[in-house]
Homo-oligomer: A and B are copies of this chain.
Amino acid sequence: MKQSLAYRLDDIAKRLGGTVLGGHDVIINQVSTLENAQSHQIAFLANSKYRSQLSKTQAGAVILSAADADATNLPRIVCSNPYAAFAKVSTLLNPSLQPVAGIHPTAVVGEGVIIHPGVQIDANVVIGDGAQIGANSIIMSGCSIGAGVHIGENALLYPRVVVYHDCVLGNNLIAHSGVVIGADGFGLAMEEGRWVKIPQIGRVIIGDDVEIGANTTIDRGALDDTVIEDDVKLDNQIQIAHNVRIGAHTAIAGCVGIAGSTTIGRYCRIGGSAGILGHLQIADEVEISSFTLVGKSIKERGSYCGIFPFTTTQAWRKNAAQVKHLDELADRVKLLEQQIEILKK
């Protein structure tokens, strides 16, 4: 773990809010879990059902809600949203990377590129003609930035991110290694038994405060653009097809696939390995379970699911065999109902 800073508990609360109870002067230099925290570390309790861990923790301080404030005598910060407060304390103690301005001599920079002040360009980065990189951004080793790409301020691209030509990325972007932004969408027409490729002439447009996980891919639009709005958070290995639009503040877990031209609302949450077919509209504040395929538009906020429940393989075999005859079973039940009616008469 990296060397971290240290603060008095009172100073932490002054910067980030919340009320201190117990030891105002305890020195905190790192965050940890209740289970593993040591005397100069701060932990958090976000869910009252884990209260019992408070009695055993070695933490120097804890962050908790008013409801749990009396459950311990440890030095503590009481606040309304302990998990968010913990995130901010952790950010205070583990500040994000700051750029060391400069362009590594092995970087290859095209013509007409505009690199704003304070930008850090690492080894073996390749930047195409006419690209622009906003102030204080960090482009780590081996990234490939296509011609005409615009990257905002304070962007952080980890090693080996690829951005194809003409894409536009907002401020505060974090893109992890292996991300590919702007590859061609999957557009094909069949003619006389062979595929004809449809040129993908749209771009990818990404708003501010977006994070994109390792090896996630976002395809450029076929004609219009693919759009990722502000504060969208994408986990690893997600596939976003051409002309998708993802609404602001939506969070998507790993391995999700979203097919072409689908629009997803704001504040949605999509579970891991879920899928959404193409040309659909998903409303705001929709929650989709892991492993669920959404095959038609969702017009109302709420929680949606479609998972085959797992069991022992032995039990599954029997049940799955019946799934294949479910329509017939329903017919048999209907017939039974008719026969019962006759018998009752």
Residues of A within 8 A of B (CB): 1-2, 30-33, 36, 81, 83-84, 86-88, 90-91, 93-94, 96, 104, 106, 108, 122-124, 126, 140-142, 144, 158-160, 162, 164-166, 174, 176-178, 180, 183-184, 186-191, 193-199, 201-203, 209, 211, 213-215, 217, 219, 223-224, 231, 233, 235-237, 239, 241, 249, 251, 253-255, 257, 259, 267, 272-273, 275, 277, 287-295, 302-327, 329-330, 332-333, 336-337, 339-340, 343-344
- Across the interface, do B320 and A309 meet the contact criterion of CB distance under 8 Å? yes
| A201: B residues at CB distance < 8 A | 1-2, 30-31, 90, 94
- Across the interface, do B198 and A90 meet the contact criterion of CB distance under 8 Å? yes
- Say yes or no: A197-B327 contact (C-beta < 8 A), given A160-B142, A254-B239, A305-B310: no
20 contacts between A and B (CB under 8 A): A1-B166, A1-B202, A87-B187, A87-B196, A96-B199, A108-B123, A144-B177, A162-B214, A195-B251, A255-B275, A287-B313, A289-B316, A293-B308, A295-B310, A306-B307, A322-B330, A323-B326, A325-B330, A333-B333, A336-B336
In the complex, what distance in Å separates the CA atom of A274 from the CA atom of B341? 45
| A343: B residues at CB distance < 8 A | 340, 343-344
Considering the complex, give the chain B residue whose CB is closest to the CB of A316: B305
How far does the Cβ of A311 sit from chain B's closest Cβ, in whole Å?
A: 6
- Across the interface, do B140 and A124 meet the contact criterion of CB distance under 8 Å? no
| A90: B residues at CB distance < 8 A | 198-199, 201
- Across the interface, do A241 and B257 meet the contact criterion of CB distance under 8 Å? no
Copy tally for this chain in the complex stands at 3
- Across the interface, do A215 and B180 meet the contact criterion of CB distance under 8 Å? yes
How far does the Cβ of A326 sit from chain B's closest Cβ, in whole Å?
A: 4
| A309: B residues at CB distance < 8 A | 295, 306, 320-321, 323-324
In the complex, what distance in Å separates the CA atom of A184 from the CA atom of B31? 16
- Across the interface, do A197 and B211 meet the contact criterion of CB distance under 8 Å? yes
| A84: B residues at CB distance < 8 A | 189-191, 196
| A257: B residues at CB distance < 8 A | 237, 254-255, 272-273
In the complex, what distance in Å separates the CA atom of A306 from the CA atom of B122? 47
| A308: B residues at CB distance < 8 A | 292-293, 306-308, 320, 323
- Across the interface, do B316 and A183 meet the contact criterion of CB distance under 8 Å? no
- Across the interface, do A259 and B272 meet the contact criterion of CB distance under 8 Å? yes
In the complex, what distance in Å separates the CA atom of A311 from the CA atom of B288? 10
In the complex, what distance in Å separates the CA atom of A314 from the CA atom of B287? 12
How far does the Cβ of A88 sit from chain B's closest Cβ, in whole Å?
A: 6
Considering the complex, give the chain B residue whose CB is closest to the CB of A342: B344
